[in-house]
Amino acid sequence: MQVFKAMLFLLCLSAAFVAKGQNDFTNCTAVLLNNKMVVNEYSTSGKCELAMDAKGVFTVQPVSLGENGSADPRGKRRFKVAIRDGNTKTLFLYADQAYEEIEASKVLSQCKKGDSIVFITMDRDLALPHSEVLVE
């Protein structure tokens, strides 16, 4: 499993070479709640789920993965937040502004069980493979 995670991380970092020489999606990032990754594992099978009553601060940060799967955050980056309705799959923008951090309770107050919170990066160099968090 560790080899798979390392390969996924390297694949994420090498995406720029496939993107016609641009620096698109060269920094692997994750959604964090209180500096802990929301995704249960940084892999193609990773799942992002969050309880309706979760507390803390959301950030999006480039991460370096440790041997035990822990993330070492590398500084907050700007992002926008949208909410995907669980019934209709309609996506709407939470606010026009970009954030470096936002209280989870503020976003969750606009959600119902089954909705998803979608994090949108503001910089083309940020790869965010686990950008959608299901609200349980």
Span 15-21, average pLDDT = 46
What is the C-alpha to C-alpha distance for residues 15 and 106, in angstroms, rounded to an integer?
34
What is the C-alpha to C-alpha distance for residues 110 and 95, in angstroms, rounded to an integer?
11
pLDDT surpassing 90 at residue 9: no
Span 2-28, average pLDDT = 56
pLDDT surpassing 90 at residue 97: yes
Span 89-101, average pLDDT = 97
Q: 3-state DSSP call for residue 61? A: strand
pLDDT surpassing 50 at residue 13: no
